[in-house]
Amino acid sequence: MIFTPQGGLRKGRIDWALFLAALLLLALGTIAIFSSVAVLPGQARIVRVQLIAIPLALIAFGAAWSLNYQVYQDQWKFVYGALLVFLAGVLFLGVVDKGARSWYRLPYFSVQPSEFARVGLILVLANFLDKRIGKIKELQTVLGAFALAVPVFLLLIKQPDFSAILLTFPVVLIMLFASGASLFHLFIILGYAFISALFPILWSIITLTPELLDNTLVSYFFHLSDSWLSASTFMAFVVFGSWLLWRLSVRLYANVSGVYFAGAALVLMLGFFSGILVKNQMKEYQQKRLEVFLSPETDPRGAGYNLLQARIAIGSGGILGRGIFSGTQSRLGFVPERHTDFILAVVGEEMGFWGMLLVTGLYALLMRRIMQGARLARDRFGYLVNCGIFGMFLVYFCINFGMLLGLSPVAGVPLPLVSYGGSNLVATLMALGIAESVYARRYALV
């Protein structure tokens, strides 16, 4: 990439392209929200919250933009402490909604601290990685980054808010990647995450197609998680197998360090462990969502209903859409969670293919501008902060679109700026403000 500090818009103190893209998405989202809630019983409250959240979010954006982002690096301990305190506090003071204790109830609205915690964690991790840049290739750096993130994850599990973890974990990985961490370490972590997810998915597939159980091997595999005995034999088998492979590689004069084999075995075992953990911790509805993702037609009236109806809504929009405030699928309540997680179904139905293309394009522009901010940043901390924010948008974008289009399992993940959700909106615009602050201060201190 060519460094071009003299590009038209980029010259100023504010990245207009980013800000306008964000505002346009917000406008689109607000229209879609108003359309979708027009017939909902809690309509007045939702409209009120959205109308309160928009100015608040703009204020947060302005504040974050005007404040020098380097403050966060200086005060990282305060930032980290505050986010931990808020996350811990919600476990005692918070109110329960939809099975999770995730909200602080305030007079006019509620605040979801996990939304802000994600931004805080990006700042803290950026500082950590900036400080450790000399030893960035070492394993301790990766472990240290996760040591910072794990307390946050634990507090989130306690709520429980799995989707927040699902969103934050890849952000940590992206920041490590962007900071230049060893690809080998990252692959190990990725492999670990992959295996942790693979086991529950495989088990779900077997549950869905019971005829596979006729196969002895499959049946053995299916019952691995049932007792500690079979689990330990499996692990012994893994250790022995990797040892055999290592010996084989030595005999073949392949110059491969034994560390790799040990590492592979370790990753496989750890992944297997957390796979069992995930499977046992998974609530029934989460299990169902996984199954529905794997085969959406299993239960068209039950868990698969949401996905199916959302798909019908998007599809029925066609190229031009059915017109704003005229989508039957969403307005008559066939699409569930239509103002939050499935807001794109409303956009797709009422504004059609062009509307969806607009949202996708604006999101791409948004991410592009944040990344440009990272490239132009005056210091490494700013660069890492922008990379984290970029990662956050990328993850939201992938999971929300993917879920809606049936490319990833249903997870309660909103689309920032478009979906309804006061805390999410304020936190998102705050993050964008920080990105703008990095951009604004690319030449000198202000």
Q: Which residues contribute to the site for other proteins (CB under 8 A)?
A: 1, 3, 39, 133-134, 136, 174, 177-180, 309, 311-319, 328-329, 332-334, 348-349, 352-353, 356-357, 360, 363-364, 367-368, 371, 374-375, 378-380, 383, 387, 390-391, 394, 397-398, 401-402, 405, 407
| Smallest separation, CB 305 to other proteins (Å) | 10
Residue listed under structure tokens 């346009």? 24
Shorter beta-carbon distance to other proteins: residue 366 or 440: 366
Residue 88: C-alpha distances to residues 77, 115, 145, 166 (Å): 16, 14, 20, 19
Minimal distance, residue 376 CB to other proteins, in Å: 9
Contact of 418 with 347, CB cutoff 8 Å: yes
CB of 108 or CB of 443, closer to other proteins: 443
Whether the CB-CB separation of 70 and 79 falls below 8 Å is answered with: no
Cα(94)–Cα(172) distance, rounded to whole angstroms? 26
DSSP string, 303-355: HHHHHHHHHHHHHHHTTT-S-TT--HHHHTT-STTTTTTTHHHHHHHHHHHHH
Q: Which is nearer to other proteins, 85 or 364 (CB)?
A: 364
**Residue whose CB is less far from other proteins, 282 or 405:** 405
> Which helix (H) or strand (E) segment is 150 a member of?
helix 139-158
Beta-carbon contacts of 431 under 8 Å, excluding residues fewer than 6 positions away, are: 64, 119, 122, 389, 392
Minimum CB separation of residue 387 from other proteins in Å reads 7
CB of 353 to other proteins, least distance (A): 4
Please give the DSSP secondary-structure letter assigned to residue 12: S
Closer Cβ to other proteins, 200 or 304, answer by number? 304
Contact 152, 84 (CB under 8 A): yes
Which lies closer to other proteins via its Cβ, residue 111 or residue 174?
174
Smallest distance from other proteins to CB 49, Å:
23
State the minimum distance, in angstroms, from the CB of residue 1 to other proteins.
7
DSSP 360: H
Question: Which is closer to other proteins, CB of 258 or CB of 300?
Answer: 300
Nearest distance in Å: CB 150, other proteins: 24
Q: Which is nearer to other proteins, 256 or 364 (CB)?
A: 364
Smallest separation (angstroms) from other proteins to the CB of 315 = 3
* DSSP-assigned letter for residue 108: S
Q: Which residues contact 11 (CB under 8 A, 6 or more apart)?
A: 5
User: Kind and range of the H or E element at 238?
Assistant: helix 228-251
- What sign results for the dihedral spanned by CA atoms 258, 262, 265, 267? negative
Nearer Cβ to other proteins (287/316): 316
Q: What is the secondary structure of 162-206 as a DSSP string?
A: HHHHHHHHHHHHHHHHHHT--HHHHHHHHHHHHHHHHHHHHHHHH
Supply the minimum distance, in Å, between the C-beta of residue 65 and other proteins.
Answer: 22
